[in-house]
Structure formats: structure tokens, C-alpha cells
Homo-oligomer: A and B are copies of this chain.
Amino acid sequence: MERTFQLILGYDGTAYAGWQVQLNQRTIQGELERAVEELVGVRVPIVGSGRTDAGVHALAQSASLDLNRWRDDAASLGRALNTKLPVDISVLRSEEVPFGFHALRDATGKRYRYQIQIGGVRDPFEYRYLWHVHGALNVESMCDAASYLLGTHDFACFQATGSERKTTVRTIRDLALTKGEGRGGQGRLTIEVEADGFLYNMVRNIVGSLVEVGRGNYSPEWMLKLVEGRDRNQAGPTAPPQGLFLIRVDYPPSPKSLQSTII
């Protein structure tokens, strides 16, 4: 009998060429498909909620797979996969879900976190997980600029050139900037963005543009013009990948209880 499982994954993206399988490259999806094949003897496609780029991390990526060769429960599948996976990829949770659940098509939203270190000395433990910006950032201006992005807009200006999506309209549900402190008292800025979906490189392009405002190169109102102009060439540079974490993927409420209602 074919069954569908959802895996919640954490990974340190430093050593990987991103999520998606590529020839002659180590990828997260590739490591997972290899691990599943070692367990059940056949190659099975693993569907991710979306691709993460080379060097991007996940605290809770969501993936799904259909298996007809697994005779045990979902928790055992997760534990067994962890024994086959490299140390920088972990199955954090494993659940059996209604047959046909699809981690990409069924996703209704995602939340990302981007970590910036403002000035100060390089942290020898955190440099893989931060964009280290030298000089000061005016966080108040950045918050003002961010407010123009909330809601439903055409975000073509933040889409990586060369990518083609049917529509570049997305709804940003939350965009929060939080100041903090690193272990050594260095300034930290955390930017969290939640939307119904993201264009390719959208978070990193938003962050790169917000930092331009924080540096005083543009006024907060520039952000409004950017969105209206729909021109990628006007936006700020793409922020580097190592500061970015996929932290949550949302699905319609409780598919399992839905199914038990149907039954």
C-alpha cells in the first residue's frame, strides 16, 4: 500500500549546492534521496516545499514522499533516515499524512529569517550564519522602508533576472525587523518575512534593498518607487546566502483531522 510521509528537516546549507539535485554536486535533496534509497532499495523522489539556494539554511524545511515499501511507523522512518544522513542534515519530525499530500503544491505560506551582524568583530562561531555588514545601519529607516512592502504587490523588482513565474504578485503577511546582540555584544539585526509564496531570490533581494536604505544610500520612500517600477535593475544587491534560514512552511489547517472527518 502506498503511503505519504511528511518530513520536517533542519540543515546547515554551508556545504551544499542548495536543495535541488544537480549533476556532480552535493545537494540536500540528493542526500535525502540517497538515504531513502539505502533504506528501501529504490530511488523515490522527494518533494520539497521549495528550493533553497546554495549556502541557505533551514530550521524547518518541509518535504514529502510516497512510499510503498515502508512497513513501520513514521517516527521509525525519521530515525532510520537520520542514521543514513550526513551530520548537517537532520529529520526533525516525520509524520504520515493523507495520501497524496504534496509539500510544494499544498504549501500556503512560508516564513524566512535573515541574520545580519552590524559592525564589530567577526564571530568565529556565527560567520556561517550571518551577513556581516560593516558600518552603521539606520534601523528606523529600514523599518519605514519595510512598511511599504506589506500586503499584496507585484514584486517583479525583487525577482532574480532570468526566472519566469506566471505571476509576480505575492502577499507579504509579516515583515519584522528586530535588533539584538551577539555573544560578544556585536549589533545584530534579524529580518523575518512571511508571505504566501516567494519569487526566486526575493528575500535576499528585499534584504539587500533594505540595507541600502539602512546605509542611507536611499530614503525609505525609494522602496515604494522600486515596487511600482517593477525593475530588478533598480533594486539593491542580492544579500549573501549564508544569512538566510527557511524557518516555517504553512499548510491548510490540520489535513489529518480533515481526513478523519471524511472517513
**Contact residues of A with B, CB < 8 Å?**
10-12, 57, 59, 78, 82, 87-92, 121-125, 127, 129, 183-184
Minimum-distance CB pairs A-B, first 9? A88-B124, A90-B124, A10-B124, A12-B124, A90-B122, A87-B127, A11-B124, A90-B121, A12-B125
Which residue of the partner chain B has the closest CB to A120? B92
| Neighbouring B residues of A10 by C-beta, 8 Å | 123-125, 184
Question: Least Cβ distance of A25 to chain B in Å?
Answer: 19
| Neighbouring B residues of A92 by C-beta, 8 Å | 121, 184
23 A-B contacts (beta carbon < 8 Å) = A10-B123, A10-B124, A10-B125, A10-B184, A11-B124, A12-B124, A12-B125, A57-B125, A59-B183, A78-B121, A82-B121, A82-B122, A87-B122, A87-B124, A87-B127, A88-B124, A88-B127, A90-B122, A90-B123, A90-B124, A91-B121, A92-B184, A125-B129
Given A82-B121, A88-B127; 9 other pairs, CB 8 A cutoff: A11-B124, A12-B124, A12-B125, A87-B122, A87-B127, A89-B124, A90-B122, A92-B121, A92-B184
